Amino acid sequence: MHLFVHSNVKLFKCSVCNKSFSHKSTLKTHLYVHSNEKAFKCSVCNKSFNRKSDLITQLLVHSNEKLFKCSVCNKSFSQKAHLNTHLLSNLKKHLHVHSNEKQFKCSVCNKSFSRKDHLNRHLIVHSDVNLFKCSVCNKSFSRKEHLNRHLIVHSDVNLFKCSVCNKSFNSKSNLNEHLLVHSNEKVFICSVCNKSFSCKSNLKKHLHVHSNEKQFKCSVCNKSFSRKDHLNRHLIVHSNVNLFKCSVCNKSFSRKSSLITHLLVHSNEKKFKCSVCNKSFSQKTHLNIHLFMHSNVILFKCSVCNKSFNRKSSLNQHLLLHSNEKVFKCSVCNKSFNRKSNLNQHLLVHSNEKLFKCSVCNKSFSQKYYLKKHLRVHSTEKQFKCSVCNKSFSRKDHLDRHLFVHSNEKLFKCCL
């Protein structure tokens, strides 16, 4: 009879559904399916089964014993069927990794995923629900792993150490990103301008440059920024905090980069040279501004007076002249200005400090503008010429005063 097992012959046929079996015992077990009789009863929950094997499986549910272990992840199950289901689902999920097919699409942003659970996890990003809250700083997260990663920030533990410079990091991903700094490899390439970056985060920041979207808005002046770090940097402008002080003239700045730029003023070094006229500059930004003078490109036009500018910042500054709004107020005398630079210059009036010194006669001035005017006294150059008599002057205000000579206008009247 045993030899029938190795053959395809199935002698035992079910009289109800015509299904065939090679063993008589298997047919008997099968017949319980067609019967309403459930002879095998669970002593714990009184649930009845028509097969003894099903009762044994049920009894395992009531025990804490999990005999069936996954060889991949060591997860245990009380039933073999549950283990098989687990293995099959993991296999299906894993096979998607090797497939380029991403059949699960986000209805909000059209991003596609190879697995449904990945899509479900992603959808939380588009919701305002932040289920996981940090007990230290109350910051909320949409995913538990993000909270766990964040919690390391509040600890002094830096588990991941750079083998090159010994700098420590609280996450492996941060260490891996940092290691690219020590290599010349720039694997993250911008698809728009082909600029390369060693860090993915820097590429993400850079991509905002190509976008017209400025989602980060200043709550004080409504100015918008494409990057959050730019907004944070801008917000210091509205505060009175000047953390960075110049060691030469004691001038304070809210940004370190502004201090570094300012220090070049005290240096005679002008390493940025114009390729057209050989004029040198201490700052690269000044050279870039200067280069527009050699071009005929005028990109920004004032909608009020049609004056044109080759820089947007210059146009924005100019537009304040047409506005009655003076947002920058002097804390000493309450005088208001439409430009911060004018306020800063004005503040020097209230101090006895005269930072701008003439290199010829050592005369000091509180404002750079006055020093520039004064320097013309030492110059033989007289660039302001009278259109009537061709007399030349070193200063424009001197020319303006002279022009009254050619007019019939008599402004000053004798009171006697």
Q: 379 vs 405, which has greater pLDDT?
A: 405
Quick one: pLDDT at residue 169?
77
Residues above pLDDT 70, as percent of the chain: 88
- The distance from CA 168 to its chain's CA centroid, rounded to whole angstroms, is 22
The band of 84, judged by pLDDT with boundaries at 50, 70 and 90, is confident
Domain 132-237 is classified in which CATH homologous superfamily?
Classic Zinc Finger (3.30.160.60)
**CA atoms of 232 and 216, how far apart (whole Å):** 9
- Average pLDDT of the residues in 261-287: 81
Quick one: pLDDT at residue 304?
86
Predicted confidence (pLDDT) at residue 151 exceeds the cutoff of 70: yes
Quick one: pLDDT at residue 144?
78
Domain 132-237 matches domain 245-372 at the CATH topology level: yes
Quick one: pLDDT at residue 281?
83
Quick one: pLDDT at residue 6?
64
Predicted confidence (pLDDT) at residue 68 exceeds the cutoff of 80: no
Q: Which amino acid is at 253?
A: F
How is residue 31 written in tokens? 């017949």
The pTM for the full model equals 0.27
Residues 345-385 have pLDDT tens digits of 788 778 777 778 888 898 888 777 788 888 877 877 788 88
- Average pLDDT of the residues in 201-211: 79
Residues 43-55 have pLDDT tens digits of 878 888 877 777 7
Which of 335, 357, 338 has the alpha carbon at shortest distance from 347?
Answer: 335
Domain 379-409 is classified in which CATH homologous superfamily?
Classic Zinc Finger (3.30.160.60)
**Count of CB atoms situated within 10 Å of the CB of 356:** 19
Quick one: pLDDT at residue 207?
80
Residues 290-307 have pLDDT tens digits of 887 777 666 678 888 888
Predicted confidence (pLDDT) at residue 128 exceeds the cutoff of 70: no
**Count of CB atoms situated within 10 Å of the CB of 57:** 16
Q: Are 58 and 42 in contact (CB under 8 A)?
A: yes
Q: How far apart are the first and last CA of the chain?
A: 147
Predicted confidence (pLDDT) at residue 262 exceeds the cutoff of 60: yes
Predicted confidence (pLDDT) at residue 99 exceeds the cutoff of 70: no
**CA atoms of 127 and 139, how far apart (whole Å):** 16
| Domain boundaries along the sequence of the chain | 132-237, 245-372, 379-409
**CA atoms of 74 and 33, how far apart (whole Å):** 34
Helix (H) or strand (E) holding 83: helix 80-97
CATH class of 245-372: alpha beta
